[in-house]
Amino acid sequence: MQKEINNNPLLNNWILPPFDKIKSEDFLPAIQFAVSRAKQEIDAIVANPEEPTFENTIVALDKNGMLYSDICNIFYNLLEAESNEELQEIAEKLIPIEVEFSNYIFLNDALFQKIKHVYQKRDSLNLAEDALTLLTDNYKSFCRNGANLNANDRKRYEKLVEELSKKSLQFKNNLLSATTAFEMYFPENEKDQLKGLPENELALAHAKALEKSHDNGWSFDLSMPSYSAFIKYVENRDLRKKIYFAYNSRAFGGNFDNSQTIFDILHLRKELAQLLGYQTYSDYVLEERMVKSSKEVFDFLHQLINIFKPVSQEEVKMLTEFAHENHFEGELQAWDWSFYANKYQLAHFQYDEQEVKPYFQLENVQKGIFSLAEQLYGIHIKENSKIPVYQNDVKAYEIFENEEKIGTLYMDFFPRNSKRNGAWMTSFKDQGFDADGNKILPIVSLVFNFTPATADMPSLLTFNEVSTFLHEFGHGLHGLLSKVRYNSLSGTSVVRDFVELPSQIMEHWATETEFLQTFAFHYQNHEPIKADLIEKIKLHDNFLSGYYNMRQFTFGLLDMQMHSQKTDWEGNLEAIEEKITQITQVLPHVKGTCISTAFSHLFGGGYASGYYGYKWAEMLADDAFAEFSDKGIFSKETAKRFRENILSQGGNVDAMELYIRFKGKKPTIDALLKRYLGEKYYLCNFVK
């Protein structure tokens, strides 16, 4: 054991993760060691004979378990971005260790009494606002984690947390297995089936076929670039229906059914909330949000649903008429939507994503985004190829301000079998201070699944991928520009319905001509992107926004209804969903499909009662970006205000208060409606 510890690269006081030295077998002993050290630190806080103070209790706790969380950060990022069976097995073993450690803190009565002592004296302590937030957060999170429960209830609480963690892993594993089990393969003599697919999509499908050990032909699966291209371009309606059905019935029935897992999770969450004294799981969650109650969320969603519903119905009518003009008969179904939407655009504003992609060569987009951040925030981003990475495709960068290094950034762009779908920001270390008061620089990682380069084409991004890049980069800035005193308030450690503001605001630059013209050059002839193409992107970006908004509201409502019921859910999951989403249903329901069984945000992650937060943050981002629109999109003054009040502040103060400090007042839905529905609609309907 001692030898495992001494030679363990994870325990070697690393500044940057030693990816060149780490082996899978290092994780378990390192984490066990780090947990025992963290426990000793807790014991020392508890054993301190002096009167509990803010410094000896709350600040000491803020520095607790830093080694442990650093190692876990590495582990979980690899589990998501560069996974293998070994890591998956370790993840199973970590669950009880983590739960036990969390309980060691949160169910430690002696520790809680010390925190309570400080908390009760808070008014006499003259604490600065960030210190008061830290104290309140600590006290509340102990209560929310069962510190006020009697011994029996505490046992039950521990059990519930453990079961929930297992169920959530089971949900994710089922979903992954169901997703990877599906393949649609076309040998060379069946090429006519793929009529409609552009050449570059065929090339990707061909590369996928080879990857899947076929000698030739084209392969499609349920991973994102593959599925979305198929559903959008392939003319064969039956095949579109087939892949649509497969995608939308993932983990619903069959070998990897998640239905019961969902009922179990909902039951466990409800029981946990009620054990802690809340009526529903939503009440428990929303207590700590920018929005404070279920009612506020339902009001927000219904207000928007009422405005967007007629818009979405008009869109269905319009697209149906268009399809009828193009020899389609009957009612549009879900698998027709992307197909006719694309055709409509080609017919009416000649927009084709393929026309835009050549201007978005990945390397150029990256340069553009980096220099945007450099311009707004006065930082400098520089690649450092000497920094070890966990996979050859990954690149590492250092962030400087006034010649001083302020952080490190990893970028991981392309899909791999070992990587999950989607795009995300994560960190290996958060900005803060160690127990000796030394600065800790943030280490952020951005992970994507962008269309990769092929033998004769560089990586060309779709407009959505450019937006995604900006989005995750915004999260990255939130982590990198953090400047807080307390580690647990650092960077993105803010309430959930606020955390998407820094990311979503960045997406606004994606349609700004002045910005696009700094980097969007055609990869072959180097011509800059033309203004009319940017106009088309904007039109496209807003095209069918009624429909797409209603989809978001569907997810938000489903989430809120499922988590705000006081009694257990039972019966047929599909029927339950249909009932809840009736009000937001735009196209006919497809029998045998289900949203929840693949809804990772809710059941495989931590977004329960929080999905509305995307739309909420969008509203915030629109409201905030209006400041940049007014003062100029490269306005250093506005950027400075945004950085000082939002990006650098982490969770120092209540999110609404931070927002008001930036904007001068509370946000409204006006800018959001104006963006989606246009000046005319906006003026007619909303300005009285």
| Interface ranges with Zn ion (CB under 5 A) | 500, 503
Name the CA dihedral angle for 544, 548, 550, 553, rounded to a multiple of 10 degrees: -160
Minimum CB distance to Zn ion smaller for 503 or for 652: 503
Give CA separation, 410 vs 375, 394, 445, in Å. 20, 7, 4
Smallest distance from Zn ion to CB 372, Å:
18
CA-wise closest residue to 579 among 595, 598, 602: 595
Tokens of 471: 């989005």
Minimum CB distance to Zn ion smaller for 114 or for 478: 478
Smallest distance from Zn ion to CB 482, Å:
16
- Looking up tokens 């090339």 gives 203
Distance CA 619, CA 654 (A): 18
Minimum CB distance to Zn ion smaller for 500 or for 512: 500
DSSP letter assigned to residue 14: -
Q: Where are the alpha helices (DSSP H) in 276-399?
A: 281-286, 294-325, 334-349, 353-356, 362-377
Minimum CB distance to Zn ion smaller for 133 or for 503: 503
Smallest distance from Zn ion to CB 185, Å:
34
Minimum CB distance to Zn ion smaller for 246 or for 466: 466
Minimum CB distance to Zn ion smaller for 297 or for 423: 423
Smallest distance from Zn ion to CB 503, Å:
4
Could you tell me what percentage of the chain is helix, strand and coil, using 3-state DSSP and rounding each to the nearest 5?
A: 60, 5, 30
Q: How many residues does the chain have?
A: 688
Report whether 628 contacts 508 (CB < 8 A): yes
Tokens of 592: 């045998």
Smallest distance from Zn ion to CB 515, Å:
20
CA-wise closest residue to 136 among 288, 283, 286: 288
Smallest distance from Zn ion to CB 609, Å:
17
Q: Where are the alpha helices (DSSP H) in 181-212?
A: 199-211
Indicate the residue type of 677.
L
Distance CA 497, CA 489 (A): 16
Minimum CB distance to Zn ion smaller for 52 or for 610: 610
Tokens of 291: 């929005």
Smallest distance from Zn ion to CB 336, Å:
30
Q: Where are the alpha helices (DSSP H) in 1-107?
A: 2-6, 27-47, 60-62, 66-81, 85-106
Minimum CB distance to Zn ion smaller for 249 or for 503: 503
Q: Residue with CB nearest Zn ion?
A: 503
Sign, CA torsion 32/34/36/39? negative
Smallest distance from Zn ion to CB 617, Å:
8
Distance CA 568, CA 271 (A): 9
CA-wise closest residue to 194 among 220, 166, 224: 220
Smallest distance from Zn ion to CB 460, Å:
23
Report whether 219 contacts 188 (CB < 8 A): no
Minimum CB distance to Zn ion smaller for 445 or for 503: 503
Smallest distance from Zn ion to CB 559, Å:
16
CA-wise closest residue to 620 among 290, 312, 133: 290
Minimum CB distance to Zn ion smaller for 174 or for 467: 467
Minimum CB distance to Zn ion smaller for 379 or for 425: 425
DSSP letter assigned to residue 223: S
Neighbours of 637 (CB within 10 A): 10
Strands 404-412 and 395-401: antiparallel
Distance CA 75, CA 436 (A): 26
Smallest distance from Zn ion to CB 465, Å:
14
Report whether 413 contacts 393 (CB < 8 A): yes
Smallest distance from Zn ion to CB 18, Å:
28
Minimum CB distance to Zn ion smaller for 487 or for 503: 503
CA-wise closest residue to 130 among 664, 621, 657, 639: 657
Smallest distance from Zn ion to CB 206, Å:
33
Minimum CB distance to Zn ion smaller for 474 or for 667: 474
